[in-house]
Amino acid sequence: MSSQASVTNAPSNEARDPAYFGYYAMLQHQQNMMQDNVRTSTYRSAILLNTECFEDKLVMDVGAGMIKKKKKKKKKALCFAGAKKVYAIEASDMAQKMKKLIRAASLPPGKSKNEFLKDKVEVIQAKIEDPEVDAPKVDTIISEPIGVLLVHERMIESFIYARDKFLKPGGHLFPNKGTMYLAPFTDAGLFTETMGRARFWEQTTFHGVDLTPLYPDAKAELFNQPVVGHFEPKSLLAVPTPGFDGFEFDFNTITMQSLRDFVVPISWTAQYTGLMHGVAGWFDLLFSGNPLSAASQPIEMSTAPHAEKTHWQQVRFMFREPLAVNSGQAIRGWMHCVVNDMRSYTVDIEIIAGAQGELSDPSQPFEPLLEKQEKQQGYSTRTSTFVRRRGRWQLHEQAYNYTYQGPTNDLVHPEHLCMYEPQNVEDAYGGITYTV
């Protein structure tokens, strides 16, 4: 199967849209996002601390139902920042609920708490890409087009479409930048739990039926699901260096094509000796405001495992076979992301531990080196100098793990997570310190 291949027989984006927008038309799902205090307060701060991008300006809110419209607080923030008018673009039936709030603004004085919305917000129920969207060029576009690992749900494409069609020259985007981070992790518990579920299919006499022919398929299915959930930040075998190891998406300049097919280079140095069970990912957002103004106050938000929890959580891509790494060892590779027809991405990852060995070309067909059944499971190769892991995941086929409840106390050390620090030993005779 080519690395460019999408899900077989998957419905088109058009066929998926009714279910997708139907999900976001439900108040309970909007509530889940509204109650994400990190998300809501970040957007509110970005608006109120950069009022020059909103005051007496024409503003477009893309995907408003998912973002702010249901979030009455945020819409209020927009109007309090002095926006001349807000064009709220929302494809789902959440637009009707938004209009209900707007109509309430026309009640007699003192009868409505939504008076600040009166004559300020125009709700347009349509996808931003629909040709019938009747809106002028605007000074500022605000959106929350973010999904798991930044890009899931492919709403950033709508954000970029709005930028190209509706943003005035010199206008502002909120947010204007996203950065994706990857790191190697260890989690024996997660691996054991997943293997335990797969081993159900090793039974030879399940009510008289031999299930073992399905074991390879079950194992492939379980390990090919990205695991979404918060996890112990101390379980990272190496951490990205802020400003150096992140893969940046500049929403001011990024093209549609570069969103749909991109490769994230991987280069880490293991800080511990241990078993690498896979690759973890998360993202940061930046709201720069007006970078040409001294009054601008950039606002940042992180979904890193050590940061305050958000509804996006983090995601982990787990190998079927752990990879042994040593402290100080180089870990190299890439992650190749290609859009699929499920409003998401097909993700290929290849990793090599050790300085030797040549990485595969991400653009070449995904053809494992083992027997045919391994084609759906990923593969591993070993030589005397390096070890390789490669696998494929569909970002939309997510499993969820909520076992992590919060930061561990200071009594938790790396060895409790089966991670081992290098030991410095001083030569008793020469006074020389060695790392062993």
Give residue 21's pLDDT band: very low, low, confident or very high (50, 70, 90). low
Is the domain of 215 the same as that of 305? yes
Whether omega for the bond prior to residue 175 falls within 30 degrees of 0, making it cis, is yes
Does residue 351 sit within a domain? Answer: no
Does residue 3 sit within a domain? Answer: no
The strand ranges marked E within 37-160 are: 58-62, 85-89, 121-124, 138-143
Regarding predicted confidence, which is higher, 131 or 4?
A: 131
The average confidence (pLDDT) of the chain is: 84
Is the domain of 155 the same as that of 229? no
Q: Could you say which of 129, 151, 174 is where a domain stops? A: 174
Q: Is 229 helix (H, G, I), strand (E, B) or coil?
A: coil
Regarding predicted confidence, which is higher, 66 or 38?
A: 38
User: How many domains does the structure of the chain reveal?
Assistant: 2
Does residue 116 sit within a domain? Answer: yes
Contact (Cβ atoms closer than 8 angstroms) between residue 146 and residue 200: no
Does residue 424 sit within a domain? Answer: yes
Say what the pTM is: 0.86
pLDDT digits 0-9 by tens, 353-389 = 988 889 999 988 765 544 443 444 456 666 656 789 9
Contact (Cβ atoms closer than 8 angstroms) between residue 297 and residue 265: no
Is the domain of 223 the same as that of 312? yes
The whole-number average pLDDT for the span 423-429 is 60
Q: Which domain holds residue 274?
A: 183-338+397-435
For residue 218, give Cα distances in angstroms to 30, 187, 401.
34, 20, 18
- On the 0-12 / 13-18 / 19+ scale of CB atoms within 10 A, 414 is middle
Is the domain of 157 the same as that of 257? no
**Alpha carbon of residue 131 to chain centroid:** 29
**Alpha carbon of residue 229 to chain centroid:** 11
Give residue 327's pLDDT band: very low, low, confident or very high (50, 70, 90). very high
For residue 265, give Cα distances in angstroms to 12, 268, 277, 313, 386.
30, 10, 19, 22, 18
pLDDT digits 0-9 by tens, 86-127 = 999 998 888 888 888 888 777 666 666 666 777 788 999 999
Lowest-confidence pick of 46-50, 79-83, 311-315, 394-398: 79-83
Is the domain of 195 the same as that of 140? no
| CATH number for position 325 | 2.70.160.11
Residue 30 has pLDDT above 70, yes or no: no
As annotated, the active-site residues are 144, 153
pLDDT digits 0-9 by tens, 269-297 = 999 999 999 999 999 999 999 988 888 89
Q: Could you say which of 156, 174, 192 is where a domain stops? A: 174
Is the domain of 68 the same as that of 144? yes
Residue 193 has pLDDT above 60, yes or no: yes
Residue 75 has pLDDT above 50, yes or no: yes
The whole-number average pLDDT for the span 229-244 is 87
Residue 417 has pLDDT above 60, yes or no: yes
Is the domain of 73 the same as that of 105? yes
pLDDT digits 0-9 by tens, 122-134 = 999 999 999 989 9
Is the domain of 114 the same as that of 214? no
